[in-house]
Structure 1
Amino acid sequence: MDYALTAGTPRWNKSGSVFEGIEIWAERRQIVKETKDDIKERALQAVQMQLKHGIQHVRTHVDVSDPTLKGLEALLEVKAEMKPWMDIQLVALPQEGMYTNPEGEELLEKAIDMGADVVGGIPHYELTREDGIKSIKKSLELAKKYDKLIDIHCDEIDDEQARYLETLAAETIRMGMQDRVTASHTAAMGSYNNAYTYKLFQILKKANIHFIALPKANLHLQGRFDSYPVRRGLTRVKELLNENINVCFGLDSIMDPWYPLGDGNLMDVVDTGLHACHMTDYDHIVTALDLITTNGAKTMAMTDDYGVKEGNSANLIVIDSTSEYEAIRTQAPVVYSIRNGEIIVQMKPAKITMNISLLS
């Protein structure tokens, strides 16, 4: 949310690639002298967009490559102020690399000490494979030291040789961090051969790693260096689910250097993801809401007070549909968002008058 609503400043991402997005963000920090209040104002606009769509739980990455850490300070304030209406988890992300940036490791630990909820990492952006592996190990060490969750931007590249995921899984097992680690993106998995993927899945199940796929952003960002056929850029969502590995869908960005669109509507994300992942069979359609509800709750470690049952907080949404199938087919809107038993957002569905005579 510290990046939200910044697309086009100082320039648009012409290649559409992840790497140009990172370059633009670094340029922006040098040119646009934003204050903490400026970042906070944009983040609050992004929060309002998400609230309109019934979102009450958000995990957002915050760039901790800036020595001032003003982005983190801004989002810590947003998190505290929005607590009555939204739960926000902040991931400390060394966007420019933990070791590519000489201050990266120090800034990451400082961000955790300031109150970040989750430890991040971006191994595929480090200068070498060795630095990438080193960064994964350090992220896990810090998470264990401070008793935090982990969420790694992992293998967000169309390179079949990008295999930091296996290192993440192996280190998770060695350090006893099962069920506390999330791998976001893992786009390279879409380029792995099936024999290697079979072996990888056995390790992933032992590590109990959670996955976040970002259908709209991954389709937009990946495959940019391909001629035809162009890769979809998504991880193997259907195959992971078939192996009972937890996967959820998210919206990576709201109008920033990495993704120029987005308004926080997760129903739209589900629709895109089902098409892109060849999951438009009936069984996947009627369980698709899990990808943005219960599966996400597992990833965010929210399972103690999640679900509609006696004794839980009365936090829920009501959507305008008669069934799960129809909800997905029509991208049904949220008509009520309820927080602690109180309606915080209400939407009246549009009324349509058809001034035509239908054939009998």
Structure 2
Amino acid sequence: MAGARRRSRSPNPVLRHGFDAIRDTFGSVMIPELLHRITGMSLADGTAADITVENGIVTAVDPAGAPGDLHLPGWLLLSAATEPHAHLDKALSWSRVQQAYGDLQTAIDSWLAYAVTMTGKEVYTRSGRALEHYLAHGITTIRTHADVLPGEEPLRGVAALLRLRDEVRDLMDVQVVLLTREDSPDSVVADAVALGVDVLGGCPHLCPDPTAETRRLLDLAERFGLPLDLHTDEQLGADVLSIRELCRQVRARGLQQRVTASHCVSLGSLEPELLAEVIAEVRAAGLGIVSLPITNLYLQGRDHSWSRPRGIPALRALLDAGIDVAAGGDNLRDPFNPMGRADPFETTSLLVTAGHLDEASALAAVTAGGRTVLGLPPSGPAVGSVANFVAVRADSLADVLAGPGDARVVIHGGRLVSRTVVDRKTALSAFAARPL
């Protein structure tokens, strides 16, 4: 991709009036130009404000004034969202796999049957389409896991995602996690590190000896100097609590890299006394926790014929303990979750409805919490933050989190990278125009 065009100091009237200047999408030869002033919108607290951006960083937040490069009256401006746990190599594969609605093991079996024949080109194409969905909905930062695949080229999916990561780096930030299997040899891990993976991952709770697998993965993380993001205790009940060994090992090793525990479904079904013990251990180890409500609501609890549990960790207790919590969508229209919109506000709605969080905590889990867990600096409409934003046509934050529709404007690093315009007219449109 060519470098950015030199930004004019005068406001761009095309951007100001209609967003028609967005010509740049995947495969383009030019990067969208940097914005200097974003004006006229409301912030999460309802304040009308103008934002000044220099070199992708917010340098001023002022009361609303004259229109600037991008004028957004009637829009609510928030920090762009972070997807802390995706599986781009699996995304949009539901139509290609043996479609069997079921639990985690059913999904694994269906996926592996397809993955044996899957090519790197397929991963690249489906993943690119998925990224377009994420970007259009206001997600500009993604951490994606990439399986060590069955077959002769176990890193073909990893290579495809690394290529994609590098191609879109001016439009969104992508971190690639090597998702190892218990039988993945150290040489494959070394090859993936040489290719440039960002994070090391695995699934100790699915192994016959979760303790041994946890220690092996920590050894590899230390050896290669990579952060660690583990699928952790993605099952109900307290029969497997591999998170406790993870906490013990992180503390004993004095691990400097960021360690993340994703899923942690079992934390939602522990008795209060045991939960308090585990949460204290998580806090002492400094782990970040990632909740993935839509996928775990789909997968977990199928063996309960009545009083089905939610499949969501004890979010309020984790937050009250000062633990960094992020939330995302996990799988997208694949054997592990045949649904999903790649929309952060689908996740916030579920955090409120099924996770019983308030709106501020739900929003933080898909914005600030995600960036903290991923080890990234803050973004959003605050001085000194990275200029990553999503603007939504909505009257209030509650309306946004409920899922306001597809009209979005997305800015990444001060660049206008996506816009979706919706023209809705119904026989009841007169009601929509009336003030409440």
TM-score (norm 2): 0.74
1:257-276 pair list within 5 angstroms: 257-276=335-354
Counting matched residue pairs gives: 343
The question of whether the paired residues in 2 share the 8 Å contact of 1:91 and 1:120 is answered with yes
- Hey, what does 1:251 align to over in structure 2? 329
- Hey, what does 1:22 align to over in structure 2? 108
- The reply on whether 1:317 has 2:390 as its aligned counterpart is yes
Is there any run of 5+ residues in structure 2 with no aligned partner, and where? Answer: 1-87
The question of whether the paired residues in 2 share the 8 Å contact of 1:190 and 1:235 is answered with yes
Using the alignment, how far apart are the partners of 2:142 and 2:149 within structure 1? 21
Q: How far does residue 10 in structure 1 lie from its aligned partner after superposition?
A: 3.6
After TM superposition, the structure 1 stretch with the greater mean CA deviation from structure 2, 189-198 or 51-60, is 189-198
Q: How far does residue 54 in structure 1 lie from its aligned partner after superposition?
A: 1.2
Amino acid paired to 1:300: L
After TM superposition, the structure 1 stretch with the greater mean CA deviation from structure 2, 214-223 or 113-122, is 113-122
The question of whether the paired residues in 1 share the 8 Å contact of 2:231 and 2:263 is answered with yes
- Hey, what does 2:140 align to over in structure 1? 56
Q: How far does residue 238 in structure 1 lie from its aligned partner after superposition?
A: 1.4
The question of whether the paired residues in 2 share the 8 Å contact of 1:179 and 1:207 is answered with no
- The reply on whether 1:133 has 2:211 as its aligned counterpart is yes
- The reply on whether 1:157 has 2:235 as its aligned counterpart is yes
The question of whether the paired residues in 2 share the 8 Å contact of 1:120 and 1:150 is answered with yes
Question: Identity across aligned pairs (percent)?
Answer: 27
- Hey, what does 1:3 align to over in structure 2? 90
Q: How far does residue 325 in structure 1 lie from its aligned partner after superposition?
A: 2.9
- The reply on whether 1:112 has 2:198 as its aligned counterpart is no
More helix by share: 1
1:1-360 pair list within 5 angstroms: 1-14=88-101, 16-30=102-116, 32=117, 34-66=118-150, 67-68=152-153, 69-94=155-180, 97-98=181-182, 101=183, 103-126=184-207, 128=208, 131-177=209-255, 180-279=258-357, 284-303=358-377, 306-310=379-383, 312-329=385-402, 331=404, 333=406, 335-355=408-428
SS in 2 for 1:60: strand
The question of whether the paired residues in 2 share the 8 Å contact of 1:179 and 1:209 is answered with no
> Alpha-carbon deviations, 1:125-148, whole Å to 9, x = none?
11x2xx321221122222222221
Larger Rg: 2
SS in 2 for 1:56: strand
The question of whether the paired residues in 2 share the 8 Å contact of 1:154 and 1:186 is answered with yes
* Structure 1 pair 287–186 and aligned structure 2 pair: CA distance change class (3 A): closer
> Alpha-carbon deviations, 1:131-186, whole Å to 9, x = none?
32122112222222222111100000123211101011111111222671111001
SS in 1 for 2:279: helix
Is there any run of 5+ residues in structure 1 with no aligned partner, and where? Answer: none
The question of whether the paired residues in 2 share the 8 Å contact of 1:64 and 1:111 is answered with no
Using the alignment, how far apart are the partners of 1:272 and 1:311 within structure 2? 31
The question of whether the paired residues in 2 share the 8 Å contact of 1:178 and 1:208 is answered with no
Aligned-residue Cα RMSD (Å) equals 2.2
Q: How far does residue 342 in structure 1 lie from its aligned partner after superposition?
A: 2.4
The question of whether the paired residues in 2 share the 8 Å contact of 1:8 and 1:257 is answered with no
Amino acid paired to 2:142: V
